[in-house]
Amino acid sequence: MLSETQRLGDGFGRLSTHLEQSQSEVKRLTEELDRIREDALTDALSGLLNRRGFDRELQRRTATAQGQESLALIMLDIDHFKKVNDTYGHPLGDRVIAAVGHSIRECIGPSGTAARYGGEEFAVLLSTDTAGAEHLAERIRARVEQGRIRRREGEQAIDSITVSAGVAVQQGNEDGSSLVERADRALYRSKHAGRNRVSVDRAMQRA
């Protein structure tokens, strides 16, 4: 009887150890899968969401915000970025993109979602009204303008980097594509007006 009890106890012990190891492995694999998913939606250069991650977030936020909250979109573009690449080389251009991404993250904190939309263009989604979005876009613009990027340690900073921005706020049941189109329209208005400024698209706003 004692021998059988000990044998059963040993068996339960091995089973318990096996279950613990299995649970640990499942946890490790789950964490690894989460990391892979996060990497698939993150732009390695800027540290922000990539275009795929942005599109997914835009679809989710525009659907849930309809009639519930003010959802604003800020589109930003680095001014004369081709000139930066042509003058200083692509490695420095990459540093500029990383620096602008860092400035955007510092300005929005946990309140918004930022993405590298493509190339030298960025996007920010946040729950706020037109005035709040315009104020944040201006903060980002000023932060980037005040930043200084050097080619190498100790060298003089390159010419000031600036961004242009366009702001639009979701209206009614407006979908993501329309919101992006209006924010982009405002962005190009900033570009055409001389760059390094913020413009707001108010075409669909209620009186």
Catalytic site residues? 120
Q: Could you tell me if 54 and 123 are in contact, meaning their C-beta atoms sit under 8 angstroms apart?
A: yes
Closest by alpha carbon to 180, among 66, 71, 70, 68?
71
The DSSP symbol for 151 reads S
Q: Could you tell me if 103 and 147 are in contact, meaning their C-beta atoms sit under 8 angstroms apart?
A: yes
H or E stretch including 31?
helix 2-40
Q: Could you tell me if 191 and 164 are in contact, meaning their C-beta atoms sit under 8 angstroms apart?
A: yes
CB-based burial, 37-68: b 16+ in 10 Å, e otherwise: eeeebbbeebebbbeebbbebbeebbeebeee
Amino acid letter, residue 71: L
